[in-house]
A = this chain, B = another copy of it.
Amino acid sequence: MADQFTNAPPPIITLTTDFGPSSRYVAAMKGVILSMNPQVRLVDLTHAIPPQDVRAGAIALAETVPFFPPDSIHLAVVDPGVGSGRRIIYARIGGQQFVAPDNGLLSRLAEREQPTKIVSVEDPRFWRATVSTTFHGRDVMAPVVARLSLGLVPDALGPPLEQLTKLAWPEVQRVANHIDGEVIEVDSFGNLITNVTRDMLADVPADESVTVTCDEHQTHGVFATYSDQPPMTLVAVIGSGDKLELAIVEENASKMLGVKAGAPVRVSW
């Protein structure tokens, strides 16, 4: 590759919001960041989080962040409590860095791996000179991630915290010959992603003696891939996030079945 890049690559800042695809609010945050660090690399993680759906944001982060290089900086804004007393936090989790409202958005990541640092973002010297009451993503978090990308030490942002806010996540129950979980996410194909992981199914038979039920819908067997079955078939597979998911081959399962996040799922054998 090109010789001029023998030094460190540009730092990565990803953006996760509920602002909707192609929102000008995202562009405003990018403008703020680029005004402070024109060399940073910006990557959209997703802006399709349903409005104010902190859980969906937490899942998107937890599922996607592990694919990014170490030390990437992730700015996440799903922030129904903006302007209220909720904190903004910096956290270091799994070798990566996060700036987000402390409303549980980072709690799914923090469940998997203990944060090695949590800081309460409080020092206004690192923010925009004027801070709106309704858009801390632009006025507080964007300048903070820009400064971090320029080398600011996280401890400068404010006092350390022991804990970040946690959300209660639905737990998977295993009793005798069945596992009870639920749909935790509907992806853009309408596939129903559950909280039942590959590991939980390790000793469950993979053949058609297994029944997967979701609401009143039922399918038999857990398959390796969608295309193992004919179109329009309801099929259970272990998806790319190592979780059981339900799909209708070449169709949108969520729309066809009317199933959304929160629907109960049972695996029995």
Q: List the interface of chain A (C-beta within 8 A of B).
A: 1-12, 14, 19-25, 27-32, 34-35, 37-39, 41-48, 51-52, 60, 63-69, 72, 80-84, 132-135, 138-139, 149-151, 187-190, 224-228, 237-240, 242, 250, 252
With A83-B224, A84-B225, A252-B51 known as contacts, the answer to whether A35 contacts B67 (CB < 8 A) is yes
Residues of B within 8 A of A30 (CB): 43
Residues of B within 8 A of A237 (CB): 133-134
C-alpha spacing A20/B83, complex, angstroms = 31
Measured CB to CB, the closest approach of chain B to A65, in angstroms, equals: 8
A38 near B69 with CB under 8 A, answer: yes
Among residues of B, the one whose C-beta sits closest to the C-beta of A190 is B51
Query: How many copies of this chain are found per oligomer?
Result: 3
Cross-chain contact of A20 among B3, B149, B188 (Cβ < 8 A): B188
Residue pairs across A and B with Cβ atoms less than 8 A apart, 25 shown, are A2-B10, A4-B6, A4-B7, A9-B38, A12-B34, A14-B27, A19-B188, A19-B189, A20-B188, A22-B22, A22-B46, A23-B48, A25-B187, A27-B43, A27-B45, A27-B46, A34-B68, A38-B41, A38-B69, A80-B227, A80-B250, A82-B226, A83-B224, A133-B238, A134-B238
B25 near A224 with CB under 8 A, answer: no
With A24-B45, A45-B24, A64-B24 known as contacts, the answer to whether A225 contacts B134 (CB < 8 A) is yes
B69 near A34 with CB under 8 A, answer: yes
With A31-B68, A189-B51 known as contacts, the answer to whether A134 contacts B2 (CB < 8 A) is no
Residues of B within 8 A of A28 (CB): 63-64, 67
Measured CB to CB, the closest approach of chain B to A192, in angstroms, equals: 13
C-alpha spacing A32/B95, complex, angstroms = 16
- Most chain-B CB neighbours within 10 Å: which of A21, A22, A30? A22
A225 near B82 with CB under 8 A, answer: yes
B31 near A69 with CB under 8 A, answer: yes
Measured CB to CB, the closest approach of chain B to A25, in angstroms, equals: 7
- Most chain-B CB neighbours within 10 Å: which of A14, A24, A48? A24
